[in-house]
Amino acid sequence: MSRQHNLRLVDRNLRGIELVLLVLGAIVSALGLAAVQLGALGALDIPPFVIGAVFWAAVLALHIVLRVRASKADPIILPIAATLNSIGIVAIYRIDIAQGSTGSTPAMRQALWATAAVVIAAVVLYFLRNHRVLQRYTYVFMLASIVLLVLPMIPGIGTSLGTNAELWVKLGPVTFQPSEYAKITLAVFFAGYLVARGESITAAGRRFAGMTFPRPKDSGPILVVWAMAMTVLVVQKDLGTSLLYFGLFLVMLYVATGLASWVVIGLLMFVAGGLAAYRFIPLVQGRVHAWLDPLDDTLYNQQYGGSYQLVQGLFGQAHGGMFGTGWGRGYPQLTPLARSDYIFTSIGEEVGLIGIFAILCLFLLLVGRGLRVGFTASDDFGRLLATGLSFVLCLQVFIVVGGVTRVIPLTGLPTPFLAAGGSSLLANWVIMALLLRITDSIRSQADRFGALRSTTDAAPASAVGSPAEKEAHS
């Protein structure tokens, strides 16, 4: 009985820590909103605070769902995700002011999407009591992934929204980006497939350069995923999503097999595909040229596919310097796509290098908590799924930040939780819900195992009794 009481106290402590961190996140959000208004408008405006309060009310509702349905879930994941999301809303609101947006502004729509995404995450947590249920539907998730990848290629519903890449689907008044949801369905499929077929994939092959390479007949899965990634690259002209999918599979394959040779083979295959794409796809050529020589006059003045937005983003970050211009005092409106592709540079100009490092540390901590789940999961499916979902978040942040800072060519992926867009928010909050569910399952199983072990250990002593008790009974 005392052990059960102690476990309940631990659960309360976890949720108590989470609640304190949520309050701190809400304070950071409110202070950021106030700083934007004072810096850009010179006065406070109440309605945006009300909209922000609605979002945080939804987050509080999710916290209550965790208390009821997943009391042992990680207490750090939700506060970090909510804080990052609120920073993104504040940044978009700042750009709205700079561009003179009125009426139903992008910031208002982003806040509503964020609220809906948190509610959906709460629904997932409430009804999904055990993450292992997803393993039963491995091939259903495979079919869902195929459908999501094919949708933008269908004439009539696939659209580029004025860009050079066919990434979106338009069904009546609704427009969404299927690739954001595909990263979840693919992670579930990869996890289920690798658990079921892990033994055949890890079969011994030939050793070369100190590594064990798989047998050719076991290379089917990586060839299929490589072909899928190349299809996305060639047909949809989306280098970032292609890299994201293939990187996700490579990492999950390495975690499942422990063979570094798979990573070597995969990287060589992707480099070969990337070189072929550079040779034959003008969009990829333009991205690489803009990356290598962004200040070239021809590229800088090019209307589409040039380096103008890349250079403006770099100028904005340089203008911010170490400490930033301060919320509301920069010029994010000078950079094209400031709310989406370049939200990171828009924030960086006003919070500076120190503020950007703080945001990256939040992402690092979030990914670290997710990977910790993967390392401690007792079942292979949970371990692979948590690792895959955490890594896809990490890789996406790297691709985005690397692109806007000229570490790698620009890809156009949205920054998780920060960039404008409902599809990205919904997908990332579902990822958070799955990670929270896996952490709760791990700790619940550990507690049950501990309780069973303590009961088993205590049983012989009570059954045998002390010598004095035996003598008294006799």
Write the DSSP string, 101-135: --SS-HHHHHHHHHHHHHHHHHHHHHH---GGGGG
Q: Which pTM does this prediction carry? A: 0.89
At 414 the three-state DSSP class reads coil
Say what the pLDDT of residue 116 is: 97
Residue 454 is predicted with a pLDDT of 46
Helical axes 422-464 vs 380-404, angle rounded to 10°? 150
Query: Exposed e or buried b for every residue in 26-44, given b needs 16+ CB within 10 A?
Result: beebbebbbbbbebbeeee
Q: For residues 423-449, b (16+ Cβ closer than 10 Å) or e, as one string?
A: bbbbbbbbbbbbbbbbbbbbbbbebee
In tens digits, the chain (474 residues) has pLDDT values of 455 555 565 667 889 999 999 999 999 999 999 999 999 999 999 999 999 999 999 999 999 999 999 999 999 999 999 999 999 999 999 999 999 887 678 999 999 999 999 999 999 999 999 999 999 999 999 999 988 988 888 888 887 766 666 778 888 788 889 989 999 999 999 999 888 876 666 655 566 555 555 666 556 666 777 787 777 777 777 788 888 988 998 899 888 888 787 788 888 888 888 888 888 888 888 889 999 999 998 888 886 678 999 999 999 999 999 999 999 999 999 998 899 889 999 999 999 999 999 999 999 999 999 999 888 877 899 999 999 999 999 999 999 999 999 999 988 789 999 999 999 999 999 999 999 999 998 888 776 655 444 445 544 444 444 444 444 443
Q: Determine how β-strand 168-171 pairs with β-strand 158-159.
A: antiparallel
3 state DSSP class of 100 = coil
